[in-house]
Structure 1
Amino acid sequence: MSRVRTDVDAALQADAGGVEAVAVVVRACVELLGIDGASISVVASARSRQMLYASDEVSTWIESLQFGLGEGPCYEAFESRVPVLAPDLATSATASWPVFAAELAEGQVGAIFAFPVISGAISLGSVDLYRVQPGWLAPVQLTTALHVVDIAAQALGRMSADPHAHESGSLPLNRGREQVHQATGMVLAALDVSAASALDRLRAYAFASERGLEEVAADIVARRLAPTELDR
């Protein structure tokens, strides 16, 4: 843990934006916890979420799936402020995110673990871990995970307190997420609904058409898909 803290401190000093510091935390998760992949996201609500770093394509897919559906262990961990542990997705209780769990099973993900990233009274986001094979984290791995998440909280807390942390070049917003926000605005204007309802309609249309939320949003923004089509 001392090495991880030292590497995170060095990364924050070298890069005010914190990209490398977040990467250090994610790499430490994969190295120390016996998992196949990890990611870190900042979360405000089911309607406002941004992935900062993912270790691999599967982690990126998991993050995109949660954002697209508006459900998943990262949201549950963020809202409950306690870890969400699903060691066997085939048998774990996933009543709060059944669609997400079904999608993961099809993607051959056997286990997922989400830890809230908390700084004092403030919930900042979540760390998500996945494993191809089902199985619990060993007690020492769980303890190590909590230590790593604590380091992540300190890093994100320092980044959010840095007035330069979100200037150009640091933690750039995912282009697809930007388009989701744009498309939400276009839908609410066209249908005269709230922002929450507009995003729900985007998600419902994407799910019904078996497409990604960001893909549908891109079509709305590029005017290949009219917002009124979401009501049909």
Structure 2
Amino acid sequence: MSWSEPDSGDAEQEIQILRTRITRELVGAVRDVPPALVPRALCRVCASLLPDVAGLSLSVLGQETGMNVVLFATDEVAGHLAEIQYTLGDGPGVEAVRLRAPVFAPDVTLGADVRRWPLFCVQAAKAGAAAVFSMPLTAGARALGTLDLYQKTTGPLDGGQVRTALLVADALSLAVTAIERAASGSGGVVTWLDGAESDRVEIHQATGVLMVHLGVGAEEALLRLRARAFAQGSTSLDVARAVIDGSTDFRDE
């Protein structure tokens, strides 16, 4: 039996069985795993639970406005899709967080999706994606982040894939919340994020540099960094690294 095709019988019972299996898989994947290796372990099990998609990523919201962390990505395309949404501040994942509801873009190459997110769709198609699907991670009324899937061909996910993806997102919501509480050290530092993406440290460093150089606040500095990334057709991380190594100086503007 595949994860997207549960046993026949009562539909509600099938969903509950699948939910239990997914939860067990995720719990088993991170049991006794050092915090730095948790993202990699979660990535492996999510890929096995959703084998029919081309790739996926998990992004969690940071403590600061406009900041997020790509906790894991199965491949370069999935990671880039998450990054460009962070850079643009737009796309299915951004809207899924805002609405706290699934947002699907079954064709980022033309039609309604392109009209809805023209900038994101151009970049997504250029990266190699043809369809993108975002499931929010939530804790009550609070959005935690998104589970984002992509396909290399256009078209919707089938019913079984949607069901499984939503259940995986629900289980990840519980996992993220539980691990966050268990691993938070003094001062509320979430140590399990240490193994996620150190690139966010570079974003913070570059934002600090821009604050000093331009005499602006953190939010304005981050917006300027994103705007430069968009203008250059790159990512916020690329521009941040250029600011840090001195090859880009915003004072030249």
Interval of TM-score (by shorter of Structure 1 and Structure 2): 0.7 to 0.9
Q: Does 1:210 align with 2:230?
A: no
Q: TM-score, normalised by structure 2?
A: 0.81
- Partners of 1:190 and 1:153 in 2: CA distance: 39
| CA distance in structure 2 between the aligned counterparts of 1:35 and 1:112, rounded to whole angstroms | 10
Separation in 2, partners of 1:76, 1:56:
23
Q: Which residue of 1 aligns with 2:174?
A: 154
CA RMSD of aligned residues (A): 2.2
Aligned length: 227
Q: Unmatched 5+ residue regions in structure 1?
A: none
Which of 15, 22, 29 is the matching residue for 1:4? 22
Q: Is the 8 A contact 2:72 2:196 kept in 1?
A: no
Determine the structure 2 residue equivalent to 1:105. Answer: 125
For structure 2, the 5+ residue unaligned runs are 1-17
- Any idea what the Cα deviations from partners look like across 1:119-142, whole Å, max 9, x if unmatched? 223211100000010111112221
1:143-202 C-alpha deviation (Å, 9 max, x unpaired): 1211111111111111111135843x7642523321111111111222122212111111
Shift of 1:16: 5.4
Aligned with residue 76 of structure 1, among 95, 99, 124: 95
Deviation of 1:210 after TM superposition, in Å, equals 3.1
Corresponding residue for residue 121 of structure 1: 141
Are residues 97 and 188 of structure 1, via their aligned partners in 2, closer, same or farther at CA, if it must alter by over 3 Å?
A: farther
2:54 to 23, 36, 42: 36
Higher helix share: 2
Partner amino acid, structure 2, of 1:80? L
Residues 184 and 198 of structure 1 are in contact (CA less than 8 Å); yes or no, is this contact kept in structure 2? yes
Residue identity matched to 1:175: S
Identity %: 30
SS in 2 for 1:93: helix
State the AA in 1 paired with 2:144.
L
Q: What secondary structure, in the 3-state scheme, does the structure 2 residue paired with 1:135 have?
A: coil
Task: Give the structure-1-normalised TM-score.
Answer: 0.87
CA spacing shift, 1:29–1:48, aligned 2, 3 Å: farther
- Shift in CA distance, 39/49, structure 1 to aligned 2, threshold 3 Å: same
Question: 1-side partners of 2:115 and 2:211: how far apart?
Answer: 30
